[in-house]
Structure 1
Amino acid sequence: MNKINYVDDWRNLGNIEIIDVRSPAEFEIDHIPGSINIPILNNRERHEVGLIYKQVNPFKAKILGASLISENISKFLKINFSKKPGSWHPLIYCWRGGQRSRSLALILNEIGWRVSVLNGGYKTFRNKVLEELKVIESFDFRIIQGQTGSAKTKILKHLKKLDAQILDLEGLACHRGSLLGKEKNKKQHSQRYFETLLHHSITKLDSNYPVYLESESSKIGNLHIPNKLWEKFNMSERILLRVPIKERVKFLLNEYEHLTKKNDLLEPFLKGMTGRYPNKMIIYWRELVANKNWEQFVKEILENHYDPKYSFSEIKHKDKINFEIEIKKLNKLNLDKTSKKILDYINSSN
């Protein structure tokens, strides 16, 4: 009979399946990437056990918890585990490596599977994520900087196709990084899971080679870039893209086409501008939207809102801008050429 293997790290355990036995609500807030949720107690059951623990006594709560856990494990054995081969190796974790993970581990181990449990559970995982996100000094980040509509995200994707390392902050945040940046039909993750995804992405990178990312504010939608990372980004070398406003307007109209088809999606932006700019300007912007004069509307918000904000950032980081690229047309050929120019510059300067 195998003994249950208690481990301090979820990584480098070979071909394992990670099982998060916490409730769906806990799992949604944050979880180990790649793990599956098999809740030993569902949201309602966990709440019920917690109430009895506080309002009656811990002993009664443990009796109820054990009975519910037993019923649920029986169900999961039939539905989720019955077809697993004998070589299957699960790693189980709960909130802090307590009753929920031990209960499932004991049963699976008794059946004969090789079972591991994460010591300290989710709390161990979370602490490691936070600790390791602070230790990023060895990474060589290169920031792609340019005014709104300069196709920075597209260039990152071109760089990736050329085998360069990238960190796609907006992709991880499910947000394009501005008041108009909410992704269509996508909900942003919790702050915790955003940090988990950042950690997961960074640990896959090789610190011996540059990592490219686009310039962002410290907040992407509702999510904040961790302080240590933000400080590191602010100290990193920058590559500046210069694109004519006409090209940026055309690019943004193509990227945000869905906003021109549902005007109500622009309402949060316009409301957010109220009080920040003269009423006369807001009224004019609303007229442009109502008349579907999209080119002029985009040009207006670039010139009056986004470009002035960007100018402040460019001035702030001017001493870190060592290379500039002018892009006259934002087409696929030029984006590919720009990506190659960036790599040629970095390779020649190393």
Structure 2
Amino acid sequence: MKDITVEELIGSNEFIPVDVRSPIEHKEASIPGSVNIPLFSDEERREIGILYKKSGEMAARWRAMEVVSPKLPDILGQFRNLAETGATPVVHCWRGGMRSKAVATFLEYSGCESIRLSGGYRAFREYILEEIPMLLPKKAVIIHGMTGTGKTDILHELQAKGYPVLDLEQMANHRGSLFGMIGTGDGYNQKTFDALLFKRLNEMKGAPYFIMEAESKRIGRAVQPDSMLDRKKDAIHLFVHSSIEKRVERIMAEYVIPYQGQGWFREEVLDKIRKIEKRLKNVPLAEELEQAVLGENYPEVIRILLIHYYDPRYTHALGEYEAKFIEIDGDHDSGAASLIEEHLPKAVRAGKAM
């Protein structure tokens, strides 16, 4: 049986992490790219945990053996199938304890290569939290713009061209607004966000700057690290402008058209609207919004929200920035991403640290 460190795992394309914890534990916090081959189902883990508290360690261990024994051929077969793809499986559990040791021992007895991650997932998390501030490039290029100006599309286009982009909304699985979870499912928790941020920063290692969208500290269920927020102080700021008509068109395409035929959509929009109405404190406008939703006049819903809710809030947030903005035409035929590319070399020279 051989143990490897987190650094060795991350530093090689040879290894594939295999999480032997229960599915719910893997969903809650996992190493990006890891495979879940659980020793116990969620229900079995719960049963053994209760037994441990009531009857002690030996009773729990015996029950664990009874549960796992019939599964061993299948579990070991899954490891063998992974190995046949050319990857080297590395077993881990929460902290490199009983579960990963048991699986590694079974692998060794069956004649398979047996490698374990020292310290388990906990060691991975401790490592990435230390590394994130050091991996983050010193200079930031921040893209601003009102809701619907296509900032995320710009990021995707720039990343496809090889620029060092951090798409924080993608890492949080949340679009950063009250409507941010429509069509995406649950937003990711902090552990998943941190793991994805580390993965992307590691891919960008050595870049003198990074490009990101202007985001509030909290994005859905996740919070940006302080080191990233600090980069805003002397960042290069670009502001994307776009007409109200174009913004409504973009939001319709992203938030409405893919989902409006589904039964849940109108009720979810209505629920979000009623939360916003409490902040608007404008009864006639609130009634107008509700009628537009009930009539499924979503372009009008979006227009009202942009003019009376999102734009005023965004304008207020811009007051936090003292830097001069480079203006970008978001409706330009050549595309905002191409216009930003024209400014990036100038921004690099002006930034000096880039």
Same fold (TM over 0.5): yes
CA distance in 2, matches of 1:307, 1:88: 50
> Does 2:2 align with 1:4?
yes
| Cα 1:61/1:274, change in 2 over 3 Å | same
Match of 2:69 in 1: 70
1:54-69 map, 5 Å: 54-69=53-68
> Does 2:273 align with 1:264?
no
1:10-159 map, 5 Å: 10-78=9-77, 80-81=79-80, 84-85=83-84, 89-136=88-135, 138-159=137-158
CA distance in 1, matches of 2:249, 2:32: 37
* SS of residue matched to 2:116: strand
Match of 2:339 in 1: 338
Match of 1:209 in 2: 208
**Aligned-residue CA RMSD in angstroms?**
2.5
**How many residue pairs align between the two structures?**
345
* SS of residue matched to 1:135: helix
CA distance in 1, matches of 2:186, 2:54: 36
Q: Is the 8 A contact 2:143 2:237 kept in 1?
A: yes
Match of 2:312 in 1: 308
* SS of residue matched to 2:237: strand
CA distance in 1, matches of 2:345, 2:2: 52
Which stretch has the larger CA shift, 223-232 or 78-87? 78-87
> Does 2:280 align with 1:280?
no
Match of 2:178 in 1: 179
TM-score by structure 1 length? 0.88
Identity %: 26
CA distance in 2, matches of 1:83, 1:326: 49
CA distance in 2, matches of 1:151, 1:88: 39
Any gaps of 5 or more consecutive residues in structure 1? none
| Cα 1:6/1:252, change in 2 over 3 Å | closer
| Cα 1:295/1:23, change in 2 over 3 Å | closer
* SS of residue matched to 1:141: strand
Q: Is the 8 A contact 1:139 1:207 kept in 2?
A: no
TM-score by structure 2 length? 0.87
Q: What is the CA distance between 1:34 and its match in structure 2?
A: 0.9
> Does 2:329 align with 1:326?
yes
Q: What is the CA distance between 1:235 and its match in structure 2?
A: 5.0
| Cα 1:55/1:293, change in 2 over 3 Å | closer
Q: Is the 8 A contact 2:240 2:336 kept in 1?
A: no
